[in-house]
Amino acid sequence: MQKPYIIGITGGSGSGKTTFIRELMKFFNDKEVSLVSQDNYYKERHLQPLDDDGIENFDSEKSIDIDLFIDDMTKLMNGKNIEKTEYNFNNPNKDPKKIIIYPSPVIIMEGVLLFYFPQVRNMIDLKIFIDVKEHVRFKRRILRDTAERGYPLEEILMRVEKHVEPAYKKYIQPFRDSADIIIPNNHSFDKALEVINNQIKFKTQPQKV
């Protein structure tokens, strides 16, 4: 079996990773491209690290079960299916669903902490960083967490100040300049979407010997 081509996509919270990937995946089926989200590898709430105020910090590098993520990625790269339970961001109104991920010629992995772990970085063939101005990320985070996750505004602002931004500066931003492609997403990512789409199409086509 030929080694799959691994694309890693990261960026700060609110950078638009999910929207970009959703649009990208419309062009492919699960036999062509596998998608693995690091969000589904958050440890259970009672295992999350606590900040100085005793509040769970989901933006810490210790919030992710990185060993399980690496094990699953290794299985997928070796041609085995993996099965996960969708992480629902502690939203009691959302029932988590089972996700089965099949091996394919191209694997996309995405997550805010993706490039921080050297074992994961070494797996990636193409590193993509989605770059957005700070105030745009804040606005998107507030809108998303209010509408999709049911968080109160006060909690969102607290987490942005004490968890999200310190984590961005420590675990995410330092790896921006080592990315192969930087996508500015303050307004639109249409041109970048076309470029990545064409790259994946090339990698999913049978290669002539």
Q: What is the per-residue pLDDT for 50?
A: 95
The side-by-side arrangement of strands in the sheet containing 126-131 is: 33-37, 106-110, 5-11, 126-131, 181-184
H helices of the chain, in order, are 17-25, 66-77, 118-121, 134-147, 153-159, 165-167, 190-204
Query: Which helix H or strand E contains 126, and what residues bound it?
Result: strand 126-131
Note if the pTM is more than 0.85: yes
For 4, 82, 102, the CA distances from 173, given in Å and listed in that order, are 27, 30, 31
Q: Stretch 3-32: mean pLDDT, rounded?
A: 93
Please report, for residues 37, 58, 137, the alpha-carbon distance to residue 34 in angstroms, rounded to integers and kept in the order given. 10, 25, 27
| More confident of the two residues 174 and 188 | 174
Are 145 and 197 in contact by the 8 Å Cβ rule? The answer is: no
Distance CA 105, CA 154 (A): 44
C-alpha 135/C-alpha 137 separation (Å) is 5
In percent, the amount of the chain with pLDDT more than 70 equals 95
pLDDT at 42: 93
Instruction: Provide mean pLDDT across the span 11-36.
Output: 93
Residue-wise pLDDT tens digits, 73-86: 999 999 999 999 88
Integer Cα distance of 25 and 30 in angstroms: 9
Cα separation of 81 and 100, whole Å?
7
| Selected residue with higher pLDDT from 60 and 90 | 60
Predicted local distance difference test score (pLDDT) of residue 14: 87
- What's residue 206's pLDDT? 65
- Is residue 208 scored above 60 in pLDDT? no
